[in-house]
Amino acid sequence: IPSLPDGYILRSLEENDFNNNLIPVLKTLTTVGDVTKEEFANLYSEWIANSHVYNPLVITNREGKVVASGMLIVESKLIHKCGKVGHIEDIAVDLSEQGKKLGLILIKNLVELARLKNCYKVILDCDAKNTGFYEKCGFSQEGIEMGFRF
Amino acid sequence: IPSLPDGYILRSLEENDFNNNLIPVLKTLTTVGDVTKEEFANLYSEWIANSHVYNPLVITNREGKVVASGMLIVESKLIHKCGKVGHIEDIAVDLSEQGKKLGLILIKNLVELARLKNCYKVILDCDAKNTGFYEKCGFSQEGIEMGFRF
Ligand SMILES: CC(=O)N[C@@H]1[C@@H](O)[C@H](O)[C@@H](COP(=O)(O)O)O[C@@H]1O
Ligand SMILES: CC(=O)N[C@@H]1[C@@H](O)[C@H](O)[C@@H](COP(=O)(O)O)O[C@@H]1O
């Protein structure tokens, strides 16, 4: 795993990251919408209460500001001898922090966390235009993501 | 949603389905390996303890035997105003029960369950050769599944 720039830290998401650039970072990925501090607190409690499922990580910069975030969901299955699958979700990197390999470092750490949690594989879904990035992270194409929107 | 053949029932997975053809059905999907009754009981407890995340359904035939099974995982996210995403996993139908639309009925019920649980979308990953089946279920291609195997 390449190392982070000096002063940058990778750590678990904390509740007060809500006011620490987390939302602007996520907005680089997709629609976030208006989320109140209380709604976030409820979601954060649910993640903490199910910490064997939800593993949210962030990278902070020299000023302690969140500049990248990502989630590892650990799913307990019956197949593969009661195997576990890691799902990487909601990867976002601040646009002003490009070129520092933060995305790659975040992914490699989420994969390492999945390994420590005994997952037999890690999967993620992405746009066709991002497959090259995930190949650099050691992934290869497994299948097709199908979706149904309400 | 098309109706099930007479005497067929769709219901939540029960602990004693372990000895009721569940494993042979799952073996039509992928590797299951040797799972003891105790290992299954532990997994089942984990699913029950996290029943807002794990929603396993089965279809049984006239004899009460499991002939299809599938899982809906409900993921609580921060994006989309603290939105929820349904993940459909581990869809398997007994080979001797083909042609009764059990797969389609199972998927449509899992999608309906996701709607009741306020998911803004449902996604699943499949082989390129199965996209036609999921299109018949109302899905369309969203992206590429990338994987990393340990
Ligand atoms: C590897 C990665 O970060 N994949 C993300 C996924 O986690 C996220 O949930 C989705 C949101 O898309 P949506 O706003 O269209 O639902 O985008 C991408 O597929
Ligand atoms: C819609 C559906 O049922 N998709 C399944 C997925 O849920 C399952 O976990 C995987 C197992 O594959 P594996 O044995 O190669 O890990 O196969 C398919 O992608």
pLDDT in tens, A42-82: 999 999 999 999 999 999 999 999 999 999 999 999 999 99
- Strands of B9-12's sheet in order across: A9-12, A54-60, A66-76, A84-93, A119-126, B140-149, A140-149, B119-126, B84-93, B66-76, B54-60, B9-12
With the most atoms of ligand 2 within 8 angstroms of its CB, the residue from B69, B89, B93, B149 to mutate is B89
| Tokens 């042609």, located at residue | B99
- Residues B64-93 have a mean pLDDT of 98
Q: Which ligand is nearest to the CA of A121?
A: 2
Distance between CA atoms of residues B124 and A72, nearest Å: 17
Ligand 2 in contact with B26 (CB < 6 A)?
no
Q: Say if CB B69 and CB B92 are below 8 A apart.
A: yes
Whether A1 shows a pLDDT value over 90: the answer reads no
- Interval between CA A93 and ligand 1 midpoint (Å): 13
- The tokens for A38 are 């209380």
Give pLDDT, residue A128.
97
Q: How confident is the model at residue A109 (pLDDT cuts 50, 70, 90)?
A: very high
Q: Say if CB A101 and CB A65 are below 8 A apart.
A: no
Within 8 A of A131 by CB-CB distance, chain B residues are 144, 146
Q: Which residues make beta-bridge pairs with B140? A: A147
| Best residue of A21, A32, A34, A79 to probe chain B, by most B CBs closer than 10 Å | A79
Residue A58, phi-psi category: left (phi > 0), alpha (psi -120 to 50), beta (remainder) = beta
**Average pLDDT score, chain B:** 97
What is the DSSP annotation of B49-105? HTTTTEEEEEEE-TTS-EEEEEEEEEEE-SHHHH-EEEEEEEEEE-GGGTTS-HHHH
CATH 3.40.630.30 fits A9-136, yes or no: yes
Q: Which residue of B has its CA nearest to A72?
A: B75
- The tokens for B87 are 């993940």
- Residues B7-15 have a mean pLDDT of 98
With the most atoms of ligand 2 within 8 angstroms of its CB, the residue from A79, A87, A142 to mutate is A79
- Number of Cβ within 10 Å of residue A149's Cβ equals 12
Q: State the pTM of this model.
A: 0.98
- Residues A138-150 have a mean pLDDT of 98
Give pLDDT, residue B86.
98
Query: How do the domains of chain B map onto residue ranges?
Result: 9-136
- For residue range B27-76, what is the model confidence (pLDDT) as tens digits? 999 999 999 999 999 999 999 999 999 999 999 999 999 999 999 999 99
Whether B102 shows a pLDDT value over 90: the answer reads yes
